[in-house]
Amino acid sequence: MKYSEEKLSDEALVKKLPRFENHYISVNDIKLHYVKGGTGKPLFLLPGWPQTWWSYHEVMNKLSDFYTVIAIDIRGMGTTDKPIEGYDKKSMAKDIYELIIELGYDEVFVAGHDIGASVAYSLACDYPDKVAKLIILDTPPADENMYRLPMLPLMDLTDKSTGYTYPWWVAFNQIDELPEKLLKGRYNVVLDYIFDNLCFDKGAITDFDRAVYTNAYERDNAISASNKWYSTFPKDIADSKDNKVLKMPVLGIGGSGFKLLEMALPGLVENLQLFEIKDCGHFICEEAPEATFNEMINFLGS
């Protein structure tokens, strides 16, 4: 089904969440888009590739009963600016830090998924006085183990029974210019592959959701910006060597990425809780919104 750009716009999307409103603000030399609603302590939600703030729409309304929810298009995402530089996670964390300051908050709760999890982790490391509690959703931050990712698949990709998905996009998104030439105007090819292969329930990301993300990513500047989230991993890994063990409470919620959280987070966090969602893929807010919401509430409290 085809959807018009108007129906896929932030203005149209936010009408589906009547408690929320669109906002734009200048921070760290970029214009940043966020969606805000609810009352109570501030909870920042940071999405990842290949999505936008919309990735949290299944849990935002319920969360807004308890918190002031702020879902953010991180640097290079959605209708946030897409500058040439600044995609290392320390720089992206500074965007969020400046947003905290501009909105007048002393400290916030932060949850991040995928690339957003790396930004959230960097925010907690660099500005620990601003992060009261941290939630990492299915993806640990980049570390030196990424250099050990194999050039060849570890298993037979034709054998679907293994549940193994070869993470080819980590390398593909390192490349300059080629992804834009291949994918401009047809980013749905990548999106469908990712959602079909990283979801336990393929229908959890609907045709409409996929159209939202295709509309957000298929332009060349959007493809280039999202690639830079990956091409800056070497800097992120180098920067991480100076990080101290986090002292604030941290929750890791994982579906298919739970084992990675279980291996990575204990060495990074002093006060850690872990929760596994069974029979769930990578996109836990869509595949298991009830379980994700419940664990977030139980952890964050009031």
Is the pTM higher than 0.95?
Answer: yes
Find out whether the peptide bond into 289 is cis, omega within 30 degrees of 0. Answer: no
Separation between Cα atoms, residue 73 and residue 161, nearest integer Å: 35
What is residue 60's predicted lDDT score, i.e. its pLDDT? 98
pLDDT in tens, 255-272: 999 999 999 999 999 999
> What is the average per-residue pLDDT within 131-160?
90
What is residue 1's predicted lDDT score, i.e. its pLDDT? 61
Average pLDDT of every residue of the chain: 96
> What is the average per-residue pLDDT within 96-102?
98
DSSP 142: P
pLDDT over 80 (residue 157) = no
237-246 b/e (C-beta count within 10 Å ≥ 16 → b): bebbeebeeb
Integer angstrom CA distances of residue 296 from 47, 104, 106, 299? 15, 24, 21, 5
Separation between Cα atoms, residue 274 and residue 252, nearest integer Å: 5
What is residue 201's predicted lDDT score, i.e. its pLDDT? 94
255, 288 Cβ separation under 8 angstroms: yes
What is residue 214's predicted lDDT score, i.e. its pLDDT? 97
